[in-house]
Every structure is written in C-alpha cells, then in structure tokens.
Structure 1
C-alpha cells in the first residue's frame, strides 16, 4: 500500500482529507454533483490497487471538498465474490486511513428483510452480522491497527444522531436496523431470509462489514447507510435481479445525496 499512498500524495500535492466515503452500487452521482475542487484518479492508475469489476462501480478515487470538509470518495468497492482476499476487499479503507481520514461513511444497496422496508427506503446501520466466513484482521497485526477492536459501537452513535437530525430537517424518512453481509454472489434463499428475520436482522447485502471492521481497528468512526433496493428473497414473490439495484438507486438518488450533504455539513 505504500506505493499507492506515495502515488496519491504526489498526484494530490499532499491534499489533506478528514472524511472518507465509499459509494455503493448505483450511487456514483454523489461524487459528480456534490464534490468541488475535484481530483479524479482511476483505480487502474494506482500502483498495486485492486480493480473494481462489480456492476455500477466506476473505480475512481476522487478527492475534493464538500463545503469546507475535505473528503476522499471511492466510486466503487471490492467484494469477496470478485475473488479478492479480505485484505484486498478493504484496500479502499486502508488507503483512506493512510491518507488521514478520521470519519468513514459507507453506503450500500441492500435487500430489505424487515417487512416495513420498501424499495427506495434508507436505513442507518446500527449494527451488523458478519456471515462472510472471514475477517480482514486475520493474520499479522498491521501497524496502526488494534489486534482485538471492540465492536460494541461499530457504527458511531454521534454520527447516527447527526444523520437522524439531518433527515428530520429535510423531511427524509429513515429506518434504523441491523445489516448482515454474505459473501455472494448468489442472492440469498427464502429460507436464509426467514432465518435472518428471526434473528432480528433488517437488511442483507454482500459488502460493507469488512470495511467497517478494518476502519474500527484503525480508530476511525463509521456511519453506515443502506439503500433498500428490493425486498429480500421470498418476500415479494418476484425473482431478484441486479437491475433492481440500479433502478432503486436512481429513484432514490436525490434523497441519499441530500442526506449525505446534510451529514457532511454537520460533522
């Protein structure tokens, strides 16, 4: 990662950043509409950096400002189902941590398990369940990482409060709930969804949890936002497709962009 950091610092002429964002499936527009004074670096140009192959993930690092807040934004993430190791899956957070972020905002598109959730809804993640069968902290302890990070408040309570207040000011309806991460790429079975529902899980996806675990090991506070792209398997009577994800993201684009802008202006 040192070569990647040196490359970014040279390209950006040492720009400072305080907040990192990871944009999930279909949520690229935030970077185009809301970040000023931008520097865009394709992942393909960054030495030793993985390449995003997931649909809807552009694969760009964007540095700039949202208001007075210096940010680094990742247009696309890496998934275990792409064949990447957990160290590669968390490469975005490793890079942003080394650039100096203190706060991380992760977004994703997820399937709604809670019967009150509908496509286009937003959910603040309050906790998660790791069903990936792996952990990015397995192996030698990295410099700057805590060996056994406490995950009681993996999702920062102050940031959740800021997001709730921002949503209330702007008339944005928000759910709160627990997110479960599966490795994918197959969608879940109806039986799995029923089991998750009985465990008190509200939404399901294939990302985010490794990023949050690594961020917490580096002492970075985290806010997680899920866009509910569809009802999970067996809850709607319809088959699941990746097209649903992009349609839901497009429909909810203004809502999630508005929320992110408000949150960033109050951090």
Structure 2
C-alpha cells in the first residue's frame, strides 16, 4: 500500500512489505511543526501465532472480510527531526495489524477496541473487540489472543461510553457471561469531524488503558491491569 508521493502537509506515505517471519511497515510524513517524521517497524509473526479472520455479510452484495492481528512482537525506530527513538529492543513493543476487503453500505457505525501486552503473571495478551457493524450478521470480530492462541467470542459485546465526554471511562462487557469485563480509561482522543457533501466522518479514537478480566478458551480467568490500547466510535458516510 503506497500513499501520496510527497509526504507534505500532514499527508503520509506508507509502504507495507511482507518479509520472512513477519511484516515491515515504513511511513513518512511531516509533523505540524515542520519536522520530518519517519517510522520503520517490523511486526514479527511467531510460529503458531493465531489471528482472527472473519467475513461479515450484510446482504447478498455487501460484505467485509477482516483480518485482525494482535500481540505481534514489534521492533523498529521512530525518527522525528534529528531525534531517533528505538523501540522493542530493551522492552516489549507490540503491533496490531488490520487488513480488510469488501463492499460496505453507504452509512456505517462501528466500535473497535484493541490492546496488546503482558499480564502481571507474564502471559502475552491481545484484545480484539468490535461492535455495532456486525449486529444481525451472524458473526462477530471479537477475540482474545492468549500466548498466541485465539479465543473466539461469539457474543456481541455491550459497549458503554459518553461521546459528550469521550475521555470518561468506557466499559466493554459480554452481556451473557463473564468472558469480558473491562473498563477502558482514555487519556487522549484523536477526534475527526468531516462533512464534505456525500462524504462524512465522525471519529473519536481514544487511547488509554484497559483494566478488569477476561476468560480464555480453557476457562482460566486472566486479570488485566493497565493494558495499553484504544477504543473508538466511528460513523462514516461514503
């Protein structure tokens, strides 16, 4: 995937390259203060690491295939002007990848949340939560990735939050079980509002930390403490 040829005015040039053992992503843009920004990330895919792939059907003509990857070990560098920040060498860093293809309805509303990291007892945990856009389709895009093994969540999740105050805590739960019982506390909202004729975008993508508990496929309860990730509410017209 390649973006605009010249990374100016906030636009981003991105390259995604398949490499042995994982995926490399390179991107360039210009920061608001004029400094050049470059990032080079390698997202490893360890042997046996499972990912979520589902087809969400709306009708006979509209569908979306989505592939969600959480808790993939990452390493690389972020360069902002003359400053270079390495990550993933001395401490854990994680990648979340999202790949999709399909034909969407003209209007759509979705929730998406994800997080990756290690639990206090040393397990590697990835959270993948979706909502709204899958209701009534017979499938969900909800799953846990625990030490590389996927636990599918067939229930639609109950999301609770206040868009009048998106930095207030959110809750994400499985209404029919204790499979997911989490509170997400944001510290930053990446807010987008666009109205351009037939096109519109209203996005609140909040970054913060998850706390609570989830249950793996073997029934074990996993405590979640300050797992870094995001949760978003997106409404699109295209």
TM-score, length of structure 2 as denominator length: 0.30
Higher relative contact order (CA 8 A, sep 6+): 1
Compare CA radii of gyration and give the structure with the larger one: 2
Higher helix share: 1
Q: What's the TM-score once normalised by structure 1's chain length? A: 0.27
Q: Higher strand proportion, which one?
A: 2
